[in-house]
Structure 1
Amino acid sequence: MAVRATPEHAEGDLTFPRGTEAALRSAHAQGESAPRVLVLGATGYVGGRIVPRLLAGGYRVRVLTRSRARVQALPWADRVEIATGDASDSDAVSAAMSGVDIVYYLVHSMTAGREFAETDRAIAHTVAAASARAGVRRMVYLGGLHPDGVQLSPHLASRREVGEILLASGAPTLVFQAGVIIGSGSASFEMVRHLTEVLPYMPAPRWVRNFIQPIAIRDVLYYLLAAAHAPGDLNRAFDIGGPDVLRYGQMMNGYAVEAGLPQRGIAALPVLTPKLASHWVGLVTPVPRAIARPLVESLQHDCVMKNHDIDDVISRPEGGLTPYRRAVRLALGRIELDEIETSWVDARVPLAPSDPMPSDPNWAGRTVFTDVRRRTTKASPADVWSVVTQIGGTNGWYSASLLWSLRGLFDRITGGVGMTRGRRSRRRLTVGDALDVWRVEHLEPERVLRLRAEMQVPGEAWLEFTIEPRPDGCEYRQRAVFFPRGLSGRLYWMAMLPFHGFIFSGMVNRIIATAERAESE
């Protein structure tokens, strides 16, 4: 009998089998405790997303971590039990498993150097033995989708081996074998994102012609959470994947379409070995080479589902699995509110599965360039705010007037609005006001003014002014933010860097000087 998960709790498609809430309420009414779940790898990409959903479902959650401080920095830290220790330490794992019903094994040592397979093997044996001793009723592991009958990359071979060790543990185990996970922060997705955005034409290894079955992070979470209610004696591996089977090159061009980029030219070259390709990926993307290489090596063969046996155990989400391009739109934040199911905004699970999270690596997410400048001043917040809100129009931009005029002229020539709009009032600003080539997007009196660029730029740009009160004045912060679109956006930012020193530093100095002069008068 298949478990059906419903979209009541977590972001539109997730996650708990029918009757879960009723069963938990009934258990509480009879004095029984909710199931206790141990999450190994709670600060990782998948683990950081599953914990708040388990909490939303009424589970008691314990996490095992080497860094208590890292967990305490996460938004759900005060709602979980934190056990400190290493997953390779038998005593620490045994203590963490005391009284646990369900274990989620979401650790992987891919970045631990050449010995990662040995490390993963040791951890898997430690966890398998501890789970058997503790009488855990269900273990859930997320491995990698792989073909049979071929020599696997070290990365995929290790993932398969870990799954086999857990299945042999004696504790009922479900192993899910997933391919490329689509969501902001997923290493595989970030590689697709950055390669596509940076390279208008890509010389690539032959594996760009291989077939892959990507899966949205929301669907991965759906299966992981539904596994907690699978039949108790079930002990086997299942392939999981989304509805689309694509060549890797098609994934890149599908991303390009959703990101508003031209289709990318891709040439498959026989001379690019996995080692050379990983160096290339490390050079043109922020994905660390230690992660890029095992990912590249894992793309040497077609990775598609061998069967759909999972459908006999866990029914597909209501509405179906997420198509690749919709998963990309979710990862890019391109889904409009009217496309999002009501349960996505459930306050119990505030972030969508594809949203960035604090636990994601610093190279995850879309590329963003910033120019941040700070100054403390004895001028009052009111005086600084008065100067800031008079910016633009006939008042000018407090620095490099010639450069601003040239930028406005260039904008007009390329079809933009230029500097001709000015401003509606010399002294007052409200949200929605046009301000030369900008528009007021957000305004908090004497605190924050944020302008969104409406000039012709290869990307999205903002200029933000923030004022923080201090006992002896205030701190003024000025931040320019640019989200580049493709290679042209990156080149544009680099071309503008020499001018930022004149424009933005001059702006800070003039605003503070004007405010301090007003303070002294």
Structure 2
Amino acid sequence: MTTDAPHQPAEHEPGTPPHDAPLVLVTGATGYIGGRLVPALLDAGLRVRALARRADRLDGRPWRHAVEVVEGDVQEPDSLDAALRDVEVAYYLIHTMGGGKDFGDRDRTGARHFAAAAERAGVSRIVYLGGMHPAAEELSPHMASRREVAEILLDGAVPTIVLRAAVILGSGSASFEVMRYLAERLPVMVAPRWVHNRIQPIAVRDVLHYLVGAARVEGAADRTLDVGGPDVLTFADLIQAYARAAGLPRRRLRTVPVLTPRLASHWIGLVTPVPRSIAGPLVESLVHEAVAADSAVRSVIPDPEHGLIGVDRAIALALERIRESEVATTWHSATPAGAPSAPLPEDPEWSGGVTRRDERSRHVDAEPAAVWAVIEGIGGSNGWYSWRLGWVARGLMDRVVGGPGLRRGRRHPHRLTVGEAVDWWRVERLDPGRLLRLRAEMRLPGRAWLELAVDAADGGGSVLRQRAVYHPRGIVGDLYWWAVWPFHGVVFGGMQRNIARAAEEAEEAGSTGQDAVSAPTG
């Protein structure tokens, strides 16, 4: 393939590469890297075919309309011929995590089937993403399996580029999630000595840059290239970098010589939601130093235009995207954050950090306009339609610690605009007649939002939906959530009941405008 972007004629669907663009196959499209690689390849002007054991697992992806999806399994060689037909470059992003003692056999078998099928189909190149490891050390079973898969592909008839990465920084990456949970939940932690081994992390968007670039270079096949970011540090340093970016105090690490990888993976399974089948191979990989053997990749695939992303910036990007997406999916919108460092809907449930939610839904015997008038008039002198004493007490507590409390009120008694203050909240999103999202500016050990939405109900009336979202910062943030949780029924339940009652009374009185806002009851 050429290094130039293929010409795109005007006659093709927006967001879809032209029909004469090179076709690439992505295996593992339901996984962390594969799901982010597909849109990156589309942005590069390439046609994409995605391989999945079940096609419906890709339904709902924002790029689904722009790709061809085929069903197949590398363990079933007959299913691969159709998937690889007319493919120029094939990405092999499959590795068995956990799954019993025979995972190595499955990895070997799958790689051999794929290499043979790619040869039959006349594929020009295979690109494989493996793990970075020292050359002369005995590796853990999972790292050894990755090395063996790379060797099988390199020994095959189809030219292959093997990219090897260490810790990948981005929300949803298993190594990033383990780091996040350890840093947020454990101010003091006991760790094995090998947390002081050197590693060379890389931002997920830089991994994608090299993967896309590997499809477009000339004459660089049948070789292994290490890809790493600009910083070399230890996993312990990485924990501290995350703590700084998340606004946490410095974490205290105490190393002990007796914590084996197996014990460490059990320990991680206890203090984080990451399954031990994932944590085990990750911990085993940290036993070895993972630093790029050389910088040969730069002579084959140029660095990104603005340079590689350092550790601090990569973590900040991941946290920024996480915070943006914590409440991005509403009842009226399901658009993902879109950046590779952000959490995506297809990521595992344990990724994305801890987010606490209180969600409530209620039918209201009033039209949406009446309900919306109450919602838009909330706060200030109109109150919060809830336990008044509780709100006043919380406002006084906030002022004591330097927060705004309830003293800011609101600019207009009945109308809101994006960006204005409402007591200790800030209007973050306003869809008139439908949705109000408020971001908390009170002093909290975390970040919080309150969202109120109204829809027309089938058969008449409305559906009032209410959601409180809280992203705790560290263990103190979690303790705060559970300390106030017993009061949620009174505060949020009462708010929803009283908003509904005010709307129903206003409509009964014949008003859906300013007069719909009445003094809170309760």
Q: TM-score, normalised by structure 1?
A: 0.90
Q: Does 1:412 align with 2:419?
A: no
Aligned to 1:474, which of 462, 478, 482?
462
1:440 equivalent in structure 2: 427
- Answer yes or no: is the 8 Å Cα contact 1:131–1:169 preserved in 2: no
Question: 2:393 is matched by which residue type in structure 1?
Answer: L
2:259 equivalent in structure 1: 272
5+ residue gaps, structure 1: 1-15, 338-348
2:329 equivalent in structure 1: none
- C-alpha displacement of 1:126: 0.8
- What are the within-5 Å matches in structure 2 for residues 382-401 of structure 1? 382-401=369-388
Per-residue CA distance 1:387-426 (angstroms, 9 max, x = gap): 2223222332222212112111211111111122223333
Structure 2 CA distance for aligned equivalents of residues 519 and 312 of structure 1: 71
Q: Does 1:291 align with 2:278?
A: yes
- What are the within-5 Å matches in structure 2 for residues 13-92 of structure 1? 18-22=3-7, 33-92=20-79
Structure 1 CA distance for aligned equivalents of residues 74 and 62 of structure 2: 23
Structure 2 CA distance for aligned equivalents of residues 399 and 42 of structure 1: 47
Q: Determine helix, strand or coil for the equivalent of 1:20.
A: coil
Worse-matched range after superposition: 363-372 or 169-178: 363-372
Q: 1:95 to 1:398 in 2, by over 3 A?
A: same
Question: 1:477 is matched by which residue type in structure 2?
Answer: R
1:517 equivalent in structure 2: 505
Structure 1 CA distance for aligned equivalents of residues 19 and 172 of structure 2: 38
1:160 equivalent in structure 2: 147
1:340 equivalent in structure 2: none
- Answer yes or no: is the 8 Å Cα contact 2:189–2:254 preserved in 1: yes
Question: 1:506 is matched by which residue type in structure 2?
Answer: G
Q: 1:233 to 1:506 in 2, by over 3 A?
A: closer
2:474 equivalent in structure 1: 486
Question: 1:264 is matched by which residue type in structure 2?
Answer: R
Aligned to 2:350, which of 347, 358, 363?
363
- Answer yes or no: is the 8 Å Cα contact 1:64–1:87 preserved in 2: no
Question: 1:493 is matched by which residue type in structure 2?
Answer: W
- C-alpha displacement of 1:111: 3.9
Structure 2 CA distance for aligned equivalents of residues 513 and 378 of structure 1: 9
5+ residue gaps, structure 2: 13-17, 325-335, 510-522
Question: 2:102 is matched by which residue type in structure 1?
Answer: E
- What are the within-5 Å matches in structure 2 for residues 286-435 of structure 1? 286-333=273-320, 351-435=338-422
1:183 equivalent in structure 2: 170
Structure 1 CA distance for aligned equivalents of residues 50 and 466 of structure 2: 39
1:237 equivalent in structure 2: 224
Q: 1:60 to 1:494 in 2, by over 3 A?
A: same
- Answer yes or no: is the 8 Å Cα contact 1:137–1:232 preserved in 2: no
Aligned to 1:500, which of 474, 479, 488?
488
Structure 1 CA distance for aligned equivalents of residues 293 and 44 of structure 2: 32
Q: Write out the 4+ residue segments of structure 1 that deviate beyond 3 Å after TM superposition.
A: 334-337
- C-alpha displacement of 1:17: 7.2
Q: 1:311 to 1:440 in 2, by over 3 A?
A: closer
Worse-matched range after superposition: 391-400 or 377-386: 391-400
Q: Determine helix, strand or coil for the equivalent of 1:114.
A: coil
Structure 1 CA distance for aligned equivalents of residues 283 and 345 of structure 2: 26
Q: Determine helix, strand or coil for the equivalent of 1:352.
A: coil
- C-alpha displacement of 1:314: 2.1
2:241 equivalent in structure 1: 254
- C-alpha displacement of 1:350: 8.1
Q: How well do the aligned residues superpose, as a CA RMSD in angstroms?
A: 2.3
- Answer yes or no: is the 8 Å Cα contact 1:17–1:226 preserved in 2: no
Per-residue CA distance 1:139-175 (angstroms, 9 max, x = gap): 0000000112222111111111110111111100001
- Answer yes or no: is the 8 Å Cα contact 1:40–1:87 preserved in 2: no
Question: 2:92 is matched by which residue type in structure 1?
Answer: Y
Q: 1:443 to 1:334 in 2, by over 3 A?
A: closer
Q: Determine helix, strand or coil for the equivalent of 1:147.
A: coil
Q: 1:350 to 1:203 in 2, by over 3 A?
A: closer
Structure 1 CA distance for aligned equivalents of residues 411 and 493 of structure 2: 27
Q: Determine helix, strand or coil for the equivalent of 1:46.
A: helix
Structure 1 CA distance for aligned equivalents of residues 401 and 2 of structure 2: 55
User: Matched residues, percent identical?
Assistant: 54
- C-alpha displacement of 1:275: 1.7
- C-alpha displacement of 1:334: 6.9
Q: Relative contact order (alpha carbons < 8 A, sep ≥ 6): 1 or 2 greater?
A: 1
Question: 2:162 is matched by which residue type in structure 1?
Answer: V
Q: 1:233 to 1:368 in 2, by over 3 A?
A: closer
Q: 1:353 to 1:410 in 2, by over 3 A?
A: same
Structure 2 CA distance for aligned equivalents of residues 69 and 353 of structure 1: 22
Per-residue CA distance 1:449-505 (angstroms, 9 max, x = gap): 111111110111111100011240111000001111111111111111111111111
- C-alpha displacement of 1:252: 0.9
Question: 1:20 is matched by which residue type in structure 2?
Answer: A
1:3 equivalent in structure 2: none
- C-alpha displacement of 1:244: 0.8
Q: Determine helix, strand or coil for the equivalent of 1:357.
A: coil
Structure 1 CA distance for aligned equivalents of residues 2 and 402 of structure 2: 54
Structure 2 CA distance for aligned equivalents of residues 352 and 40 of structure 1: 21
Structure 2 CA distance for aligned equivalents of residues 477 and 379 of structure 1: 14
Q: 1:174 to 1:500 in 2, by over 3 A?
A: same
Structure 2 CA distance for aligned equivalents of residues 298 and 17 of structure 1: 36
Q: 1:469 to 1:334 in 2, by over 3 A?
A: closer
Q: Determine helix, strand or coil for the equivalent of 1:466.
A: strand
